[in-house]
Structure 1
Amino acid sequence: MTALPLETLPAGAVRRTLRTHREGPVLTVELNTPDQGNTVTDALLDDLLAVLQDQDPAVRVLVLTGSGDDFCLGGDRGEFARHLAHDPTGGGIRVSGTKARRVCEALTGNPAVTIARVHGKAVGAGVALALACDLRVGSEDATFRLPELALGLPTAWGGLLPRLISEVGAARVREIVLTGRIVTAAEAQSLSLLQKVVPAHELDAAVAEWARPVVRRPPAALRVTKALLNSLSAASRLADVSVLDPELMAAVVSEAHHDRGAT
């Protein structure tokens, strides 16, 4: 699979924050707000849901990537503030959190094999989007960080924490979440946050190397195998409370907002 120009969507198209490109059975979805570091907004979540819900059944591989210097710099804090200004009880944050969970579930449960193509920084919600994919390849300069605690937020977005513990292990996750430190690409591979690390100019070739055999697999067998892998992975998580993520985030943020207003 060679890197081709992504299609330009017509003015007024629903997918305002994304660019997509279809090459046979391979669909590339690119987060496309590079001036904002591809931060996750409600508009981006809406666009991702639209793409994933309208996905052609003939798509066998879905590649998630980001434009510009970074994969995704996490949630849009300005939008959080606007939600709180509109509804101090956190109603808007609950709605946004529910969208986030639906997007991550749509990636994980996608009938196609999903591949995260990570370069530059993946922060917070960006880590969750990458982790929701089946396969993850990163450039040597890729880094991961979960700074939520330093921002006064719980690590409760899109079911990130249970997936992270399942993939990486509780002890390592505890240290990464509590310190909020940067994880390099090499360490991310050792922790299974990434399954492969390559020089930046080899990212497309690495994606193609995974996609090539997948598109040749019988579709029914592929779908069933993915469903089995997801079911067994979910079964290994004794309690997945990610359905509570929107409530937890809203409760913490609205309480902090109230406390600041009371002082």
Structure 2
Amino acid sequence: MELSLPDFLTSSPYEPPATVRTRREGPVLHVELNSPETGNAVTEAMRDELLDVVGAPDPEVRVLVLSGAGDDFCLGGDRTEFADRLAEDPTGRGIRVAGEKARRVCEAISGNRAVTIARVQGKAIGAGLALALACDLRVGADTAGFRLPEPALGLPTAWGGLPPRLIHEVGAARVRELILTGRAFDAAEAHALSVLQRVVPENELDQAVQAWAKPVARRPEAALPVTKALLNSYAAATRMADPSFLDAELMAAVAATGRRTSPRTPGPDTSHS
């Protein structure tokens, strides 16, 4: 069976402008973050649309490919929306709701019946890195870049359960350095850290995705969800102290405190900071 990546022209269950577009090719579902003018910054609308797509898995879908339109995979959270939420409710209630939904999105990706593949080009920052890391397999362009800027913005690194996943994949010592310094790292280092499992020239990203998707799509239907459940349970055993259910509370509390003590309201993670 020949699989090819779609050209995402019209497929979306939402009225324009949709922030997530989908395309089904047999057992493969392509999900594209679709806000290239903002670097696919994660908004409330995007969280809702992602949750609708990945939170109700189709048993016929065996592979889910997550990608981003334009130059970047995802520049992180939308800072303007974040600041507006905090201005509307200085106690951080809106931030809390958004954070809880972010956790549900990442859990729906990681726990999806299908094998999930992140196709990363350009930058994956903060929430963008969290979305990619929630996927089973991650391939990036050799020009891709990554960063965790939240502490520099006056916020905890607490989006979508990112820290425990990152520590599990990378190791506590390296994660501590990446979060506390907020330094950028490139695709080669991401590969060495297992943030990416494969790095290719950007013009070969589609072929790399297809090389993974084709054999997975041919696997017996019953084997994939059971195998994924086993792998996830093994990983969970090494994350017994996973506090990600507190992410939303932590984000809201720190943001509200920061607003009271600073004349400037911090926003979430984007490369524009």
Q: Which residue of 1 aligns with 2:58?
A: 56
Tell me the amino acid that sits aligned with residue 109 of structure 1: G
User: Is residue 2:262 matched to residue 1:237?
Assistant: no
Write out aligned runs for 1:95-244 (5 A). Answer: 95-244=97-246
Tell me the amino acid that sits aligned with residue 151 of structure 1: L
Shift of 1:3: 3.0
Q: For residues 62-103 of structure 1, what are the alpha-carbon distances to aligned partners after superposition, in whole Å with 9 as ceiling and x for unaligned? A: 000000000000001111111111100000000000100000
Shift of 1:14: 8.2
Tell me the amino acid that sits aligned with residue 232 of structure 1: Y
Q: Specify every segment of 5 or more residues in structure 2 that has no aligned partner in the other structure, as ranges.
A: 265-273
Corresponding residue to 1:89 among 74, 77, 91: 91
TM-score (norm 2): 0.93
Which of the two has greater helix per residue?
1
Tell me the amino acid that sits aligned with residue 131 of structure 1: L
Partner SS state of residue 229, structure 2: helix
Counterparts of 1:4 and 1:34 in 2: how far apart (Å)? 17
With a CA cutoff of 8 Å and minimum separation of 6, indicate the structure with the bigger relative contact order.
Answer: 2
Shift of the 112–28 alpha-carbon distance from structure 1 to 2, 3 Å rule, reads: same
Shift of 1:54: 3.6
Tell me the amino acid that sits aligned with residue 78 of structure 2: D
Shift of 1:16: 1.8
Counterparts of 2:237 and 2:129 in 1: how far apart (Å)? 22
Partner SS state of residue 32, structure 2: strand
Tell me the amino acid that sits aligned with residue 64 of structure 2: L
Q: For residues 9-53 of structure 1, what are the alpha-carbon distances to aligned partners after superposition, in whole Å with 9 as ceiling and x for unaligned? A: 479538821111111110110000000010011110000011113
Tell me the amino acid that sits aligned with residue 122 of structure 1: A
Tell me the amino acid that sits aligned with residue 109 of structure 2: L
Partner SS state of residue 193, structure 1: coil
Q: Which residue of 2 aligns with 1:43?
A: 45
Corresponding residue to 1:22 among 21, 24, 27: 24
Q: Over aligned residue pairs, what C-alpha RMSD do you find? A: 1.6
Contact 1:137–1:206 (8 Å) recurs in 2: yes
Aligned length: 262
Partner SS state of residue 222, structure 2: helix
Contact 2:107–2:134 (8 Å) recurs in 1: yes
Q: For residues 146-184 of structure 1, what are the alpha-carbon distances to aligned partners after superposition, in whole Å with 9 as ceiling and x for unaligned? A: 001111110001000000000000000001001111110
Contact 1:39–1:72 (8 Å) recurs in 2: yes
Counterparts of 1:9 and 1:134 in 2: how far apart (Å)? 24
